[in-house]
A and B are shown apart, each in its own frame.
Chain A
Amino acid sequence: MTARRIAVVSAGLSNPSSTRMLADRMAAATLAALAERGIEASVDTIELRDLAHEITDNLLTGFAPPALERAVNAVVSADAVIAVTPIFSTSYSGLFKSFIDVLDPDALTGTPVLIGANAGTARHSLAIDYAIRPLFAYLHAEAVSTGVFAASSDWGSHADDVAPLSARVERGAKELAEAVARREPVTAVDPFDPAQYLGEGRSFGHLLGGLAGE
């Protein structure tokens, strides 16, 4: 069976970053949940901080420098995406959105996504549902219903002990693993294959419509 590829996008700005800590936990839990289902998978983690200059250059020039191009390819060709961002000013970080902006608008259509976010306090937790989820809805990605929010306190003494972070992570990971398991492995699509842009077995005459009698 083909191994699946999970892309993890982490938009934290500090290093070490609690966004990255959350992203790593979500990735590990997803791999475990996939393994339980007998699905082999690998993880590509993309730390957006390392690509911040390239992302800005892409916004200005229209093309991705090599390191960013590799990251973009890893995300758009993945079987599932784990997207984790800090909440800044009630929403995803600017860096996170800029990365999304350099993707082709169709690139994540149908891709299962697990959303994660972190902030100083749990008062920001609904940002997942009013800010981040609509972004993925716009992209026609298929975000699983659980989003994982981690407040600073989740990493220490005042953590939620009724629904602890680890349980929320596992729940999201399970949903993502099920979404992956339901789908066929993603296969690479070549946009420069005539069968892609014309349709299988079709010719330029079809683009001309009635003009060429095809």
Chain B
Amino acid sequence: MSDITSQVQFGIFTVSDITQDPTTGHTPSEAERIRATLTIAKHAEEVGLDVFALGEHHNPPFWSSSPTTTLAYIAAQTERLILSTATTLITTNDPVKIAEDFAMLQHVSGGRTDLMLGRGNTGPVYPWFGKDIRQGLPLAIENYALLHKLWREDVVDWEGKFRTPLQGFTATPRPLDGVAPFVWHGSIRTPEIAEQAAYYGDGFFANNIFWPAEHYQRLIGLYRQRYAHYGHGTPEQAIVGIGGQAFLAKNSQDAVTQFRPYFDNAPVYGHGPSLEDFSQMTPLTVGSPQQVIDRYAGMRDLYGDFQRQLFLMDHAGLPLKTVLEQLDILGGEVVPVLRKELAKNRPAEVPDAPTHAGLVRKAYGDGPAREARPRANRGDNLSGPSPYDDTPAPAGAAFGLAGGAR
């Protein structure tokens, strides 16, 4: 049986909203909120969490337009934390740039990188980047097909509907150790995205925040079934991540009193259902550590054994000090118990959470990993062998020596 700390990764995800604190009227500046987020990320590692994931937005009141820049800084300030996204826009970003940015992040973070792909969060983001929202799904499908290829094949010839063609293109740097970053596909309603995750044998992430659990249950159930259909393993072996949202205090009534003004004025659900109704209908849990433990230990009954649990802890104008206290309780009192709870009766065939080391092991066994070394005097990718002189030679064709000559 594997170590319980590698079975399920716990972490936080943030949408990077800059929201007025409704209790004080204070709206942080961009600089203030960005610095606060860096502090939050570092504190996530300090309290024993495994993952920090950051959203991508291109409009105020959000600040996170360039996630890999931010994540690279956090990588330099931390040692264990896995840096991820929530989500990276696969529709409006150029897949070539995503391939390059995240390979870079892999290298500078020593492999502590994965990413979550999503389609979009505001209608105008499509036209701002020259895209049509009605093509959201076809863009997600085609762009990911290219991204997947760019990380696995050294030399790519490509022609699709949406992007200018590529002839003999090599995305640099090559992924660390010749292993592509692990990819989660996020969706809250689209079965085709669950299908896409299953087709590639990638992870599927359900945000599990804003809607009732049944919505996510259907998508996760579908993903598991299709994961098996495409021959990647049993449904139970599919790689599932879920979100969540909690606000904690020793005494549950204090948690409710403290969080209510933030809830009532929050973007997305504020001025809508009551905190009580919303907590009943969605996984939001406001209460004592034991209440949060009970609710989230029960998620496996809804979704099956999963690999990643991220919490939204810092939105709606919560001040930095409160967020750090929340992380202390989450990391100190909740997550250690959840790790134990989720380890109970976890079948041996359920995979551990994905890590770079795990992917390297899967690709090479105990053998040495790829070290991509450009050949001298390249410039001609169209004929001849790979532009890389690998040491050692990779096993099999898994690393896409498109030139075929080895």
Contacts and interface: CB of A to CB of B under 8 A. Distances in A.
Interface in B129-153: 141-142, 145
B192 to A, nearest CB: 6
A201 B273 CA distance: 42
The size class of the interface chain A forms with chain B is 20 to 34
Contacts of A138: none
B161 to A, nearest CB: 8
B271 interface: yes
A66 B278 CA distance: 11
Interface in B213-228: 215, 218-219, 221-222, 226
B191 A61 contact: no
Contact of B160 (A61, A191, A207, A211): A211
Interface in B232-268: 268
Contacts of A191: 191
B395 interface: no
**What is the interface of chain B mostly: helix, strand, loop, or mixed?**
helix
Interface string A76-108: 000000000000000000000000000000000
Contact of A207 (B141, B161, B211, B212): B141
A5 to B, nearest CB: 22
B357 interface: no
Contact of A61 (B161, B230, B268): B268
A197 B192 contact: yes
Given A62-B210, A63-B215, A211 B145 contact: yes
Interface in B176-213: 191-192, 195-196, 198-199, 210-212
A167 interface: no
B210 A192 contact: no
A11 to B, nearest CB: 21
Given A192-B218, A192-B222, A198-B195, A61 B142 contact: no
A134 interface: no
Nearest to A211: B145
Interface residues of B, number: 30
A44 B268 CA distance: 32
Contacts of A63: 210-212, 215, 281
A109 interface: no
B281 A65 contact: yes
A178 B264 CA distance: 50
B191 A66 contact: no
Determine which residue in A60, A62, A63, A191 has the highest number of CB atoms from chain B within 10 A of its CB, and name it. Answer: A63
B62 to A, nearest CB: 18
Nearest to B272: A60
Given A56-B272, A207-B192, A194 B218 contact: no
A198 B273 CA distance: 36
A204 interface: yes
Nearest to B281: A65
A65 B269 CA distance: 13
A188 interface: no
A207 B163 CA distance: 17
Interface string B379-402: 000000000000000000000000
Nearest to B197: A204
A86 to B, nearest CB: 26
Interface string A48-63: 0000000011001111
Given A65-B273, A194-B226, A197-B192, A204 B199 contact: yes
Contacts of A66: 281
Contacts of A192: 191, 218-219, 221-222
A1 interface: no
Interface of B: 141-142, 145, 160-161, 191-192, 195-196, 198-199, 210-212, 215, 218-219, 221-222, 226, 229-230, 268-269, 271-273, 277-278, 281
22 contacts: A57-B273, A60-B271, A60-B272, A60-B273, A61-B210, A61-B269, A61-B273, A63-B210, A63-B212, A63-B215, A65-B277, A65-B281, A66-B281, A194-B229, A203-B199, A204-B195, A204-B199, A204-B230, A205-B199, A207-B196, A208-B141, A209-B142
The 9 A-B pairs at the shortest CB distance, nearest first, are namely: A60-B272, A204-B199, A63-B211, A57-B273, A197-B191, A57-B272, A192-B222, A61-B269, A211-B145
Interface of A: 56-57, 60-63, 65-66, 191-192, 194, 196-198, 203-205, 207-209, 211-212
